[in-house]
Structure 1
Amino acid sequence: MFTDVEGFTAIAESMPADVLMRQLTDYFNLATRVFARHGGVIDKFMGDGIMVLWGAPTDLPDAEYRACAASLELHAEMTELNRRWQAEGLQPFRTRIGMHTGIVIAGVLGSSDRLSYTALGDVINAASRIEGTNKQLGTRTLMSEATFEGLGGRLATRRIEEQIELRGRQTRMVLYELLEVEHQPR
Structure 2
Amino acid sequence: MKLDPQTGTTRFFQKTMPSPVGLLTLVASDKGLAAILWENDDPKRVRLGQVEENQNHPVLLETERQLSDYFAGKLERFSVKLDFATGTDFQRKVWAALITIPFGETRSYAQIAKQIGHPDAVRAVGAANGKNPISIIAPCHRVIGSNGKLTGFAGGLEAKALLLGIESKCAPQPELL
More strand by share: 1
| TM-score over 0.5 for the pair | no
More helix by share: 1
Give the TM-score normalised by the residue count of structure 2.
Answer: 0.28
